[in-house]
Amino acid sequence: MKLFYNPASPFVRKVMVTAIECGLDDKIMVEPLALTPVSPSESLNADNPLGKIPALVLDNGDTLFDSRVICEYLNALGNGTLFPTDHTRWDNLRRQAMADGISDAGVVVRYETFVRPQDKQWDQWIDNQKQKFRRALAAMESEAAYYKDTVDIGMLSIAIALDYLDFRYADEAWREQYPVLADWHTAISTRDSLQQTRPADL
Ligand code: 99T
């Protein structure tokens, strides 16, 4: 399988982490792409009309996107345990959605501040996006005591979203405000799948 990839992307990282957790990482060949909304890739667009990564080209030529679909696919393929079907299913998927929303807001602010020319930047837009991830941080702090040792797609996605905030917005200093979440994050970060996939610029 071929994965359109960038080591900075929290969404690509979800896929890599899932692949490692499910023992499928050696089945995936990565194609690195330096991508922004204003520097698209023709070869990616041919496989994913949305022009976004991650996109996973399967051995039969079909392409799967986005990260939620790919992660669930890999979990099924590798008989993984990241998408339980018992009563925990909805909380697990809600947490994945919350984490992805944090990453989405983080990526939007990154594009607004790093890609958009300075004279066209909109401070209120940036601030409102940051409020999204700040509210989500407060919401996670209030439930983090229950995260314990659970490892599912929701928990891994939260760890990845927090790492993305550290990677792009180190000045957010969320650990001081949210100690329960910080302790949980320190513990889950020792997992091999997270250690092997630290975010980096291409
Ligand atoms: O929007 C574009 O044109 C290019 N951007 C992307 O492909 C980003 C890369 S993160 N991917 C997504 O936004 C995917 C979101 C989707 N819902 C999913 O797969 O879950 C780049 C991060 C960075 O450089 O800091």
CATH number at 54 reads 3.40.30.10
Domain end among 27, 50, 77: 77
Q: What is the pLDDT of residue 81?
A: 98
Q: Are residues 72 and 118 in the same domain?
A: no
Q: Are residues 100 and 184 in the same domain?
A: yes
Q: What is the pLDDT of residue 192?
A: 98
Ligand 1 contact via 100 beta carbon (within 6 Å): yes
Ligand 1 contact via 66 beta carbon (within 6 Å): yes
Structural domain includes residue 82: no
d(CA 179, CA 172): 14
Domain end among 54, 77, 100: 77
Mutating to test ligand 1, I would choose from 67, 72, 102, 107 the residue with most ligand atoms within 8 A of its C-beta, which is: 107
Which atom of ligand 1 is the closest one to the Cα of 52?
Answer: 7
Q: What is the pLDDT of residue 29?
A: 98
Q: Are residues 60 and 93 in the same domain?
A: no
Which amino acid, one-letter code, is at 4? F
Q: For residue 17, what are the contacts with CB-CB under 8 A and spacing of at least 6?
A: 156, 160, 193, 194, 197
Ligand 1 contact via 49 beta carbon (within 6 Å): no
Q: Are residues 46 and 102 in the same domain?
A: no
Structural domain includes residue 180: yes
Structural domain includes residue 84: no
Strands (E), 27-122: 29-32, 55-57, 63-64
Q: Are residues 61 and 98 in the same domain?
A: no
How far is residue 22 from each of residues 5, 104, 147, 152, measured CA to CA in Å?
18, 25, 21, 11
Q: Which residues pair with 55 in a beta bridge?
A: 4
**Enclosing domain of residue 145:** 89-191
Ligand 1 contact via 8 beta carbon (within 6 Å): yes
* Distance, first Cα to last Cα, the chain: 21
Q: How many domains are contained in the chain?
A: 2
Span 35-91, pLDDT tens digits: 999 999 999 999 999 999 999 999 999 999 999 999 999 999 999 999 999 999 999
Q: What is the pLDDT of residue 8?
A: 98
DSSP state of 25: G
Q: What is the pLDDT of residue 189?
A: 98
Q: What is the pLDDT of residue 41?
A: 97
CATH number at residue 137: 1.20.1050.10
Q: What residues of the chain score a pLDDT lower than 70?
A: none
Q: Are residues 145 and 61 in the same domain?
A: no
Q: Are residues 116 and 181 in the same domain?
A: yes
Q: Whose CA is nearest to atom 1 of ligand 1?
A: 37
